[in-house]
């Protein structure tokens, strides 16, 4: 398995470097025209799925359909070391921003099929607590509901707020934990760090379990920019 991942990373690196060469032929202010982007991005398939729908490993999330601004911000965070996963840090370290934008745009345009929801193993009490936090928050602890930023359908908002569905519970727990302990940061003001820091371990488990149990809505597209006003100042949703 390690040999396979190493081989896939090597191929991805070669294709990304080729993409940099294509991008360098473009004016600095223009979005790059990169040939054969669909085939280039197939090298992401071993981890993130053939169409960016997410891999079998719970820690490899879906990319398809997330806002391009969000995906670009995450690629940039890996390149800058604000998110920590060694293979991604290595692969993106020397990539130009215009090529990262092209990658983000490609995956944002992929459309999710109906995802199979794994029946939750959490108790009804845990799921009810998760639903309450997602839909209503915890005002006494200054925790806004997830839906107040990610939308009533939880499909995110352009340009930088991701959807929360079709993700594994373990991945959601890991990311909330990373924000709580400062190993994942976003462009300031980092509203997610503030919210995550107010969550307990039980809150994190409950939110992740409930979100992972939800089916995709009929319309999985993110909301247009400004459709909701976030309750906290947030670098990913300028107001």
39-97 pLDDT tens trace: 999 989 999 998 899 988 999 999 999 999 999 999 999 999 999 999 999 999 999 99
If you ran DSSP here, which 8-state letter would residue 197 be given?
H
Nearest to 228 by CA among 147, 165, 163: 147
Domains of the chain, earliest start first: 2-108 (1.10.760.10), 124-212 (1.10.760.10)
Mean pLDDT of 18-22: 43
Q: Which whole-number Å values give the CA distances from 103 to 14, 17, 121, in the listed order?
A: 15, 13, 35
If you ran DSSP here, which 8-state letter would residue 41 be given?
H
81-118 pLDDT tens trace: 999 999 999 999 999 999 999 999 999 999 877 656 77
Nearest to 101 by CA among 75, 66, 77: 75
């Amino acid at each position: 398995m390690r040999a396979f991942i190493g081989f896939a990373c090597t191929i991805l690196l070669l294709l990304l470097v080729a993409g940099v060469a294509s991008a360098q032929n473009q004016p600095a202010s223009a979005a790059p025209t990169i040939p054969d982007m669909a085939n280039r991005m197939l090298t992401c398939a071993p981890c993130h799925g053939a169409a960016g729908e997410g891999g079998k490993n719970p820690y490899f999330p879906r990319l398809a359909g997330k806002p391009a601004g969000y995906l670009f911000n995450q690629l940039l965070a890996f390149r800058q070391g604000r998110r920590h996963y060694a293979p991604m840090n290595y692969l993106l370290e020397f990539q130009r921003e215009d090529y990262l934008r092209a990658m983000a745009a490609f995956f944002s345009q992929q459309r999710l099929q109906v995802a199979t929801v794994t029946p939750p193993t959490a108790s009804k009490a845990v799921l009810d607590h998760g639903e309450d936090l997602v839909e209503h928050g915890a005002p006494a602890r200054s925790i806004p509901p997830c839906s107040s930023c990610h939308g009533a359908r939880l499909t995110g908002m352009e340009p930088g707020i991701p959807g929360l569905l079709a993700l594994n519970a373990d991945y959601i727990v890991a990311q909330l934990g990373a924000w709580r302990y400062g190993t994942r940061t976003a462009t300031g003001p980092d509203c997610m760090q503030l919210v995550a820091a107010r969550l307990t371990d039980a809150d994190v488990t409950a939110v992740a379990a409930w979100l992972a149990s939800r089916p995709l809505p009929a319309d999985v597209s993110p909301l247009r920019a400004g459709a909701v006003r976030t309750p906290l100042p947030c670098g990913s949703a300028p107001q």
